[in-house]
Amino acid sequence: MHSVEILGTSHIARQSIIAIKNKIAEFKPDVIAVELDKYRLPYLFEPRSKPRLRDISRLGLMGFIFNTIGGWLQRKLGEKVGLMPGADMREAIREASQANIPIALIDRPIMITLQRLSTEMKFWEKLHFVFYIIGGFVLPAPKWLKIDLHAVPEEKLVARMTFELRHKFPTIYKVLVKERNDYMAKQIRLLISENPDKKILVVVGAGHVRGLQQAFSVV
C-alpha cells in the first residue's frame, strides 16, 4: 500500500533544510514531490532575471505586480537569514539527486497562476491590495504576526495568516492557495496511481500543508 508524507517548509529557513535531510533519512521515500513547476525549477540554480514591463502582456498587470513584489520581498528576507529564496526546494532536489530518488514537480505552472490572479481579482480588491502593501512599509506589523525567519512557522501562525488572507483578499487566497492545493492534490493522486506500493514524500510551503492533509486525510 502506498504511503504519503507531507513536510511543510519555509522557503528561506535553515530549519527547513535540516528537516528535509532528516525526513528523507527517516522516511526513505521512493519519490519526492516538490512545490515547483518546470518554469520555476531552472531559477533555483541560476540567477533570476529582472522583471520586464513586457511581461505584463503574459502575466497580466496584477500578476506582474504580485510577482515583482513577491520576488523582491523574498530576496530581502533571504538576505536577512543568509539564504536565497527556494533554499528548501533546492535542498530537496539535491538530496534526491544524491540518493537517486525521482523528483516530481507537482505545482501548477506559475504563468497560469499569475494570469488567473490578474483576471480573477476585481478592481476594488486590486486597489485594496496596493494600499495594503504600501501600508505594510509604513505601519507596524500586528502584534500576533511574530515570525522567526530561521524557522518554519508554527501551525497556529500559519492558520491565522491563512484566515487573514482568505478574508482580506479572497481572490488571492483562492488562486494562490486553494486552487494550487487542488492542483497539487491531483498531481499527488496521479503519482500514487503511477507508483503503487511506493513511499512518496511531498515537500511544500507550510501554507499548503493543511489543505493537502485534508485532501489525503494525513494527520
Q: Give 60-112 pLDDT, tens digit per residue.
A: 666 666 666 666 566 655 555 556 778 889 999 999 999 999 999 999 998 88
Beta bridge partners of 101: none
Supply the pLDDT for residue 219: 39
Supply the pLDDT for residue 105: 97
- What's the residue count for the chain? 219
Closest CA to 216 of 197, 194, 190, 195: 190
Does residue 145 surpass a pLDDT of 70?
A: no
Q: How far apart are CA 85 and CA 9, in angstroms?
A: 12
Does residue 28 surpass a pLDDT of 50?
A: yes
Supply the pLDDT for residue 85: 75
pTM for the predicted model, two decimal places: 0.82
**pLDDT tens digits for range 30-54:** 999 999 999 888 878 776 656 565 5
Q: How far apart are CA 118 and CA 82, in angstroms?
A: 32
Supply the pLDDT for residue 72: 53
Supply the pLDDT for residue 144: 44
Q: How far apart are CA 26 and CA 29, in angstroms?
A: 9
